[in-house]
Structure 1
Amino acid sequence: MNTVVQKFTADGITVVGGIPSMTSSPEEIADFAARADVLTVNLGTLDAERRRVILRAVEVVNAAGKPWILDPVHCDYSPSRLAFAQELIALGPTIVRGNAAEMALIGSTGPGLRIQTGEVDRIGSGGEGVRVANGHRWMAEVTGTGCLTGGVIAAFMAVEPDALVAAASALAVTGVAAELAAPLSRGPGSFGVAFLDALSAIGERELLTHARIHYDQD
């Protein structure tokens, strides 16, 4: 996980009922990956050691047949980061999740589910797709909301084997939580706290009232 946002992301995973681990220790990563239900690989902060640790974690979960998510953060900024993201994609992530610029380089087709985030989040796999139109503009002004959302997707994948269903549900939950948090906030600073509170308290009634999920099929 991106070291800048580890606590915020861990808090988001925790409030939806998951148990997060942010370990990147070469001595521990194989053991932690073996115990995990889902692995999230976030390229937000990279160095040579973290690259080796990521490859080892992916090796472990692939051998065990477990799902994993790749978030190729800022692969559009650095040729070496893009090359590493493409190397990871060749290893078969269950989900690749990025913004429009990142996904333009990664590509919208290939093995696994593709999620393009934005004002409307677009989830696609083969001929079917889902659009989730929930969220709030302050999500873009609080560092880590995207990484947190990726963590929530992973938590949902731990209990829902259909990656499309898990991803759409997680994006709807985080988007609705953001919409509920915004009226209680004075700006991005207080929004981050209110967002976690709303994510913890959200229930079926709020989702049925506010979720905007659209299904597409070619």
Structure 2
Amino acid sequence: MMGDTGFIENAAASLARVRRQRPRVHCLMNTVVQKFVADGLAALGAIPSMTSSTEEVEAFARRADALVVNLGTLNDERRTAIRLATTVAGDVGKPWIVDPVHCDYSPSRLAFARELLASEPSVVRGNASEMELIGEASGVLRIKTGAIDELTLDQHSIRVENGHPLMAQVTGTGCLSGALIAVFMAVEPDRVTAATGALLTSGVAAEIAARRSSGPGTFEAAFRDALAALHPEDIIANARISHAEG
């Protein structure tokens, strides 16, 4: 794996490619955060789509450059839509990420998350309790989120230290983080490099937004503005990562 400086430089370059290429990302996103995530992706320069209709989802997934699957507000129709979309992504070789939201609350959701992992997504992303429960998944990039986000693939580990506590007070920032990873995977073939770039982008934007905010309400709008205004140079100037190999 490349060194820390290489990951930071590639993150900046990937952000520039997102701005130029405007990748399409289909989001099977929980209903609570759909607008927040769509607005965040649009601010960055991506083109989001959100339908979970079983009549449409295969066509949307096929047209997208990447797919993000979020297990919040799960029901039978969404399960079917997720299976249809992930099958398309697998068949045509498009990158996809699964975010097993609250699989630690629901045995049936945990079982579904493990079913999806068996289909070999590019990335699985969750908090510490979610990631502990779903267990290992060979060949899948694992991202454990928290005050420091830890990315692990095989014996390689990267820690992204950027971010701000106000992110935890705005519903949907974690869901948007997962969608941003899909965006970066659409323009960067190496998923570790892509995910690192997405997390640095989100974390640096959050730090910029926090300086302009008086609380979670103003932070939400400032975060979207920071994503829209973020330059590759901002990542290079502010990125904080550590790189380890076990």
1:139-166 superposed Cα distances (whole Å, 9 cap, x missing partner): 0000000011111111111100000000
Instruction: Indicate whether 1:205 and 2:233 are aligned.
Output: yes
Instruction: Indicate whether 1:18 and 2:34 are aligned.
Output: no
Q: Is the 8 A contact 1:12 1:151 kept in 2?
A: no
Q: 2:120 aligns with which of 89, 92, 115?
A: 92
- Aligned partner of 1:169 in structure 2 is 197
- Aligned partner of 1:78 in structure 2 is 106
Q: Return the offset for 1:111.
A: 2.5
For residues 50-65 of structure 1, the aligned pairs below 5 Å read: 50-65=78-93
Partners of 1:109 and 1:88 in 2: CA distance = 10
Q: Which residue identity lines up with residue 62 of structure 1 in the other structure?
A: G
1:78-127 superposed Cα distances (whole Å, 9 cap, x missing partner): 00000111111111110000000100001245221000000000001001
- Aligned partner of 2:216 in structure 1 is 188
**Which ranges in structure 2 are unaligned for 5 or more consecutive residues?**
1-28
Partners of 1:71 and 1:204 in 2: CA distance = 26
Q: Which has the higher contact order (CA 8 A, sep 6+)?
A: 2
Partners of 2:228 and 2:94 in 1: CA distance = 26
Q: 2:207 aligns with which of 167, 170, 179?
A: 179
Partners of 1:173 and 1:61 in 2: CA distance = 25
- Helix, strand or coil for the counterpart of 2:58? helix
- Aligned partner of 1:31 in structure 2 is 59
**Which ranges in structure 1 are unaligned for 5 or more consecutive residues?**
none
- Aligned partner of 1:114 in structure 2 is 142
Q: Is the 8 A contact 1:113 1:164 kept in 2?
A: yes
Q: Is the 8 A contact 2:118 2:137 kept in 1?
A: no
- Aligned partner of 1:130 in structure 2 is 158
TM-score, structure 2 normalization: 0.87
Q: 1:155 aligns with which of 163, 183, 190?
A: 183
- Aligned partner of 1:2 in structure 2 is 30
TM-score, structure 1 normalization: 0.98
Partners of 2:228 and 2:245 in 1: CA distance = 33
Aligned residues: 218
